[in-house]
Chain A
Amino acid sequence: MRFLDTFFDGAVMAKYLPDLLSAIVTTLWLSGLIVVGGLALGLALACLRTLGRWYLTMPIVVFADLGRALPPLVVILIFYFGLPGLGISLSGPLVLILVLGGVLAAFAEEIFWAGLTAVPKGQWEAGRATGLSFARTLFDIALPQAVRMGIPPLVNRALAITKMTALGSVIGVKEILAVSSSAQSFSGSATPLTMAALAYLAIFLPVVILSRGLEKRYSWAV
């Protein structure tokens, strides 16, 4: 019974459920914006990189390398506590979206780019030889194949990044971990943390399962 009291205390659960539900909503919309924005930016950067202009490639590579090398927490702290010194104050949620979205974009750019370089040269030649423009060949021929190759690593990366919304707890964003750990310290019970774990599962498990379907849909006999 010790176990149940510690982790599944009914009274504590009931008390903090409303707070937790609103935290779940916060985590959901933050994650949604981060994933959509990060993937879109990563895709756009990878496409720009195909143009093969050094003045585009160089900043993109620098961005992707920094985004992948820096620990997101460090960047979040710099943005939240450092930028106000320059007169730029960003809200906690905005910092989280910018930083995590940017980190996801850095990884996604590399994944899309790797996929694009893995598309055989003959595919490009077949497209161009049939009168398709560079952009058409990119969007109708190369990119669909690159995206397909990139889906498994992209899903993994997107999941890893969205779980990092928990970092919002250090800059006052009322997401799942922040709300449940403050509930834990007020109530002295570990139950809110259990609730947090269940909430994360409820959000991310369907995504993991969905991603399996997505991988199937985008595979084709080669």
Chain B
Amino acid sequence: MSAAPHAAPGTHRPNSRVHDRPMLEINKLEKQFGDVRVLTSIDLNVEAGELVFVIGPSGSGKSTMLRCCNRLEEPTSGSILLDGEHVTACHGRALDRMRLKIGMVFQGFHLYPHKSVLANVMLAQVKALKRDKAVAQARAMEMLDTVGLAHKADAMPGELSGGQQQRVAIARALALDPKVMLFDEPTSALDPELVGSVLKVMKQLREQGMTMVVVSHEMEFAREAADRVVFMDGGVVVESGPPEQIFGNPSSERLRAFLSRLRKGGE
């Protein structure tokens, strides 16, 4: 991986707007599946233009937290606000509109296999955002260009490598002009040699000032690109802070144990 310049927290980035409140606010979020409590009073604020990196052992609730943010999972209690608007209070059409502002990238890409790459990136623009077809197509091509795949616009998803599919999935989310992008292990399903291309796009996005929450095991990426690292374990946020603190000087025993397991296991 290339040695990108180390970005300190709060580094000035061109498009990051000045906000008087966090872009994404998670307050006292709780989630239970039946009797099993998976998230316990999660509080997390993500500032506009900030990249928050979430780590934690398997089953610690990272995915569940992200999925509560766009209500793919229904929070048991607590509130989530996006740019001051209540995500947790919306229903029906209002929730659909809210989801347009929250981009999500999945571990498994989930491109629509029966639609071309271009159609994948256009679908929600036309059907949910009600953009004019021509406008949506132009926007889709622009986004595909951003992720370096404009030349694959007419391909079917099945003809692309995993890394290319994931970049299309990112373009599909970006085309809706979201206020925040949520990534749930975006590179975990990829062959090692394809991981770099996806991380590169994510870094580019960060440079452009996108607010991002990234669940991933790519610690190298976290060191280079994260403003803040959040460590979750057992459904609670155990520790959070700038990457150099979390990786260099962990204060909790649980985080130290997690990091040493990672280093031994090589992820």
**When the two chains form the complex, which single residue of B96, B110, B113, B114 contacts A131, counting CB atoms closer than 8 Å?**
B96
Stretch at the interface among A117-125, A152-160, A190-198: A117-125
Q: For this complex, into which size category does the number of interface residues on chain B fall?
A: 20 to 34
CB-based contact A130/B112 at 8 Å: no
Give the interface centre of B102, B104, B113, B158 by most chain A CB atoms within 10 Å: B113
Within 8 Å of chain A (Cβ to Cβ): is B200? Answer: no
Given A129-B102, A131-B97, A132-B123, A222 contacting B110 (CB threshold 8 A)? no
B residues 36-70 touching A (CB-CB < 8 Å): 70
Whether the pair A145, B99 counts as a contact (CB closer than 8 A) is: no
Name the CB-closest residue of B to A141.
B112
B128 contact set on A, CB distance < 8 A: 130-133, 136
Contacts A128-B72, A145-B113 given; does A220 touch B158 at CB 8 Å: yes
Given A122-B108, A220-B156, A222-B158, A132 and B114 contact (CB-CB distance below 8 Å): no
Interface string of B81-117 (1 = CB under 8 A from A): 0000000000001001111101010101011111000
Bound CA span A133–B183, Å:
22
Q: Which of A122, A129, A140, A148 contacts B70 (CB 8 A)?
A: A129
Closest chain A CB from B16 CB (angstroms): 24
**Is B26 among interface residues, defined by CB-CB distance under 8 A?**
no
Contact with A along B123-140 (1 / 0, CB 8 A): 110011100000000000
Closest to A142 in B: B112
Tell me the bound Cα distance from A169 to B49 in angstroms: 75
Q: Does B172 contact A (CB under 8 A)?
A: yes
Q: Mark A104-134, 1 if CB is under 8 A from B, else 0.
A: 0000000000000000101101111111110
Residues of A within 8 A of B145 (CB): none
A131 to B104, CA, bound (A): 11
Report whether B156 and A132 are in contact in the complex, using a CB–CB cutoff of 8 Å.
no
Q: Is residue A221 within 8 Å, beta carbon to beta carbon, of the partner chain?
A: yes
Q: Give the residues from 186 to 228 in chain B that come closer than 8 angstroms, CB to CB, to chain A.
A: none
Question: Which residues in A have some Cβ–Cβ distance to B below 8 Å?
Answer: 120, 122-123, 125-133, 136, 140-141, 144-145, 148, 220-222
Mind listing 23 A-B residue pairs with CB under 8 Å? A122-B106, A123-B110, A125-B72, A126-B112, A126-B169, A128-B96, A128-B99, A129-B99, A130-B99, A130-B100, A130-B123, A130-B128, A130-B176, A131-B124, A132-B124, A132-B128, A133-B96, A136-B127, A145-B112, A220-B114, A220-B156, A220-B158, A222-B113
| In the complex, the 10 A-B pairs of residues with the closest C-beta atoms, listed nearest first | A221-B158, A130-B124, A131-B128, A131-B100, A126-B110, A122-B110, A129-B104, A131-B99, A222-B158, A131-B96
